[in-house]
Structure 1
Amino acid sequence: MRINVLQHTPNEGPGMIQDWSTKHGHKMFIYHPYQFGYLPTASETDMLIILGGPMSPNDDLLWIKQERELIKKLISQDKPIWGVCYGAQQIVKTLGYKVTKAPAKEVGFAPVYRRDAKFLNIPEELNVLHWHEEMFEIPSGAQLLFSSDKVENQGFIMNHRIVGLQFHLEPKADNVREMVVNDFPYLEGSSLHQTKTEILQTKIADNNKQTLYKLLDYISKR
């Protein structure tokens, strides 16, 4: 399977998603549309991963609109799509729903709670990395998958083929360090009130990886 990844900033890569891809023998291609302007075609995409970034799907940029055209085609072709943070917001925007300011800016580690999709056998609570101040509406026909204490809409699953998460399951310890050392000013104003040191000292729980793998397995299987 060819997995095409849309990466939107140098310090937010695929992390454990790449490990999952390697484990299953898939071929991963990483695109940087914010820098180079290139996107894969729908015909050469078996699965799409849309990562986070500092931009908003509400920004009036050509490449952001072109991403949504690609997402729209892949949805119509029933191909698996995984969206993280900005990526999840892009999926929601493509489906015609709103992305707005969240009631609280969340930057740092905090729990999310499973809301629906008990059939997936994923944990009822996960301690995950948040790095956002916007949130998405839950599209019609999608199941609310996760909520946090401060933001209700933290994740959704749709049509057995699409997952959108406002938070980050994919980072490994090295990835968290990369995010913090390059984007630490974004901590200012966070409702989680965590310092750089506190974030860097937080151990990534094993069940984050297990949950990530379960969800990727679920949407990628026919």
Structure 2
Amino acid sequence: MPTDIADTSPSRTALVIQHLGFEDLGLLEPLLHERGYLTRYLDVATQPVDTAPVRAAELVVVLGGPVGANDADRYPFLADELAALRTRLADGSATLGICLGAQLLARALGAQVTPGAAREIGYAPVRLTPEGAASPLRHLAGVPVLHWHNDMFGIPENAQLLADTPTCPHQAFALGTQILALQFHLETPAQDIERWLVGHAEALAAADIHPAELRRSASEAAPELHTRAIATITEWLTAAGC
């Protein structure tokens, strides 16, 4: 049975699959430490992606990045990552995917990832479906979150669509209580946004977005978003028995 914090001893492992150095757990890292997790990052660009540790971790978080979920021919580590995730998800083990991570979860569960109608970069709220309003995402109602993507995932078989936006009709899905996929970012604190603005400078220039717009939006969204993000992930972890 799920409990609030089942075990506070630092013996449980949260394996964090990372695709880009500055896209990390952000706000979620202190939360996981409070719940008794050791966080271990797996940098897929420099470390082998083995199925055994991905399958064995008590919790896996798959983070974002600028590569595409369909780009295994260009970035071979994606094939190993997908194979490991397929094995883990077949077990129904607790897994959170964010942005690219969410797209990889969708692919591992048999859904397609396709180009979106338009690039989506900036802060805006998501619209919750009835299922989303009854899920941990209810804490995000009306709160601007960070969007930064070109592609969109399909909804896997038996999964529930939780949220959408006018530009992207698939913003979040859940499969049971154990698997949660978010196309948007809720983990990035405002003080880290400058790393994104520098690291993704070419994407911002291509979209004709001035960095000052995102700095201002991040600062305005931060107080409410940070509180709601922690509430959202806390509720999901509890429901997942984590």
User: TM-score when scaled to structure 2?
Assistant: 0.84
What's 2:37 paired with?
A: 26
* Counterpart residue identity of residue 209, structure 1: I
5+ long unaligned stretches in structure 1: none
Which residue of structure 1 aligns with residue 212 of structure 2?
197
The residue that corresponds to 1:13 in the other structure is 24
Q: Is this contact kept in 1: 2:49–2:84, CA < 8 A?
A: no
Aligned ranges 1:87-102 → 2 under 5 Å:
87-102=101-116
Specify the code of the residue in structure 1 equivalent to 2:157.
Answer: S
Contact 2:114 2:153 in 1 (8 A): yes
Identity %, equivalent residues: 26
Q: Which residue of 2 aligns with 1:162?
A: 179
1:174 alignment partner in structure 2: 191
**More displaced 10-residue stretch of structure 1: 83-92 or 57-66:** 57-66
Partner of 1:114: 128
C-alpha displacement of 1:77 = 1.9
Tell me the amino acid that sits aligned with residue 48 of structure 1: V
Q: Which residue of 2 aligns with 1:83?
A: 97
For residue 132 of structure 1, the aligned residue among 144, 149, 169 is 149
Q: 1:94 to 1:200 in 2, by over 3 A?
A: same
Residue 126 of structure 1 aligns with an amino acid whose one-letter code is V
The answer as to whether partners of 1:113 and 1:126 remain within 8 angstroms in 2 is: no
What's the CA shift for 1:84?
A: 0.6
2:231 is aligned with 1:210: yes
Deviation at 1:194, TM superposition (A): 4.3
Match among 35, 47, 67 for residue 46 of structure 2 = 35
For the aligned residue pairs, the C-alpha RMSD in angstroms reads 1.8
SS at match of 1:126: coil
Would you say 1:68 and 2:89 are equivalent positions? no
Q: Which residue of 1 aligns with 2:61?
A: 49
8 Å contact 1:7–1:52 — kept in the other structure?
Answer: yes
Q: Distance in 2 between the 1:43 and 1:103 partners?
A: 34
Give the Cα–Cα distance (whole angstroms) in 1 for the partners of residues 157 and 182 of structure 2. Answer: 16
Partner amino acid, structure 2, of 1:19? P
Contact 2:18 2:24 in 1 (8 A): yes
| Unpaired stretches in structure 2, ≥5 consecutive residues | 1-11
Aligned counterparts of 2:54 and 2:19: Cα–Cα separation in 1? 19
- What residue is the counterpart of 1:153 in the other structure? 170
Ranges of 4+ aligned residues in structure 1 off by more than 4 Å: none
Number of equivalences: 219
